[in-house]
Structure 1
Amino acid sequence: MRGLGRIFSRGSRKPVAQRSATSEDERHLREFAASRTGVEAYVEPPTAVTTTTVVYVANTGEWTRRRVRDAHAAHALANALGIPSYDASVVGYPQRMRAWNARKAAEEKTRRTGTV
């Protein structure tokens, strides 16, 4: 089980596999940053169920989340790509990300129901 940590699910002593970052995760982040403008990185701390993650948010509000090795690696990648990085637990997420999510949810509702 290389690359998987051992944690336990809530209320259980049964271990739950935890996927770690891969080169594919880094490739995706690099491509996202290169193909969009105004990208910023928001580093998320590890939780009981996930490793450290980073959210890249474009100026349109479009975003993507991927696992990273640790916070240092997330900030280092952002620096290498020339994009600003922040600790999400300190600064939160930008309003444009929430607006993008709301637009996408409304579009999906319209698509499903055929109404506005």
Structure 2
Amino acid sequence: MAWFRRQKKASGGSVARAAHNEALEHLTAFVTSRTGVEVFIEPKTTVTETTVILIAHDGEWTRRRVDSPEGARRFAHKMAIPVYDIQLVGYPQRMRDFNERRKRASS
């Protein structure tokens, strides 16, 4: 009777690594294809992991999960763009304006 068999569980490391690489590629493409991009770090919550929002000069934005706030800062440093903590500075008005324009255009 073998109720408690010791089996190795799949770690999912390669899946997580692939998702991380995909997110970095997306963020890099966003930075290189737009002007005036800034990084805003959103803290980990009970529902979501740490995320970054990249916001362009016109308010267009994208959000992706990152491994840590330090990882987000390293990304911003590597891309030579400013980085802010969303808890300290809040969401920029240009992002709200962009969302409002998009909402009006779709209705």
Q: How do residues 49-64 of structure 1 correspond to structure 2 at under 5 angstroms? A: 49-64=47-62
Q: Give the aligned length.
A: 94
Provide the C-alpha distance between the structure 1 equivalents of 2:86 and 2:12, rounded to a whole number of angstroms.
28
Give the gaps of 5 or more residues in structure 2. 1-10
TM-superposition CA deviations, 1:15-64 (whole Å, max 9, x none): xxxx8961100110000000000000000000111110000000010000
Corresponding letter in the other structure for 2:30: F
Separation in 2, partners of 1:98, 1:70? 25
What TM-score results when the alignment is normalised by the length of structure 1?
0.77
Letter in 1 for 2:59: G
Which residue of 1 is the match for residue 77 of structure 2?
A: 79
Amino acid at match of 1:2: G
Structure exhibiting the larger radius of gyration computed from Cα positions: 2
Measure, in 1, the Cα distance between the counterparts of 2:38 and 2:27: 11
Q: Are 2:43 and 1:45 aligned?
A: yes
Aligned partner of 1:70 among 68, 83, 98: 68
Q: Aligned partners of 1:79 and 1:53: how far apart in 2?
A: 16
What TM-score does the superposition give when structure 2 sets the normalisation length? Answer: 0.83
* Aligned 1:1-116 pairs, distance under 5 A: 2=12, 22-109=20-107
Q: Distance in 2 between matches of 1:56 and 1:99?
A: 15
Letter in 2 for 1:76: R
Deviation beyond 2 Å, 4+ runs, structure 1: none
**Structure richer in strand, relative to its length:** 1
